[in-house]
Amino acid sequence: MKLPTIVTTLTIAGSLATAPTVFADNHEKAAEQTVVEIAASNEDFSTLVAAVKAAGLAETLSGEGPFTIFAPTNDAFAKLPEGTVEELLKPENKEKLQAILTLHAIGAKVMAADVSPGKVKTLNGASVDIQVSDGTVTVDGAKVIKTDIVGSNGVIHVIDTVILPKS
């Protein structure tokens, strides 16, 4: 599946320096890896990586990019109703899983210092709502808990909730 590159200007105000660390701060090594390789190297993203593979998006998101990925942790996936992840990982739900995962990606590299409130178009064509309040950034209600994990083809911002398409 080839995804369109969407050029987006996005700015996130406020500092997230006090956000919890769920990722080892080995930025030199990370900068040499794609966003998929970075996620695969961290056990906190094992559910996300399994979902990306099941959706057939690993090759696309390992491509040239640039990408900004709002990456839900395993704890974020655990907040979904029981059985949801297992159901989404089934081959017959591949398109639904692709729609969910591409809602977590933007076709541009956007660092935390460059984000501000507003609607941003994602790779699935829908928009997510970025909000900033008292230094806390949310993406469609998902709290950003770690920012600026830079890879060779983009950047990862860690979120605490899985973003689901609006019905």
Q: What is the pLDDT, as a whole number, of residue 3?
A: 33
| Cα end-to-end distance, the chain, whole Å | 23
Q: What is the pLDDT, as a whole number, of residue 129?
A: 96
- Which of 158, 133, 149 lies closest to 14, judged by CA? 133
| Position 30 confidence tier, pLDDT thresholds 50, 70, 90 | low
- Whole-angstrom Cα distance, residue 142 to residue 131? 10
Q: Which amino acid is located at 36 in the chain?
A: V
- Residue pair 124/97 in contact (Cβ under 8 Å)? The answer is no
What distances in angstroms separate CA 130 from CA 3, 32, 66, 136, 143, one per listed residue? Answer: 22, 28, 19, 10, 10
pLDDT at 134 over 50: yes
| Position 22 confidence tier, pLDDT thresholds 50, 70, 90 | very low
Kindly state the tokens that stand for 106: 């933007």
- Whole-angstrom Cα distance, residue 86 to residue 63? 27
* All structural domains of the chain: 27-159 (2.30.180.10)
Query: What pLDDT, in 10s, does the model give residues 87-118?
Result: 999 999 999 999 999 999 999 999 999 988 99
pLDDT at 17 over 70: no
pLDDT at 5 over 90: no
Query: What pLDDT, in 10s, does the model give residues 34-72?
Result: 999 999 999 999 999 999 999 999 999 999 989 999 999
- Whole-angstrom Cα distance, residue 104 to residue 87? 19
- Whole-angstrom Cα distance, residue 40 to residue 47? 10
Kindly state the tokens that stand for 114: 């460059």
Put simply, whether the predicted model's pTM sits higher than 0.85 gets the answer no
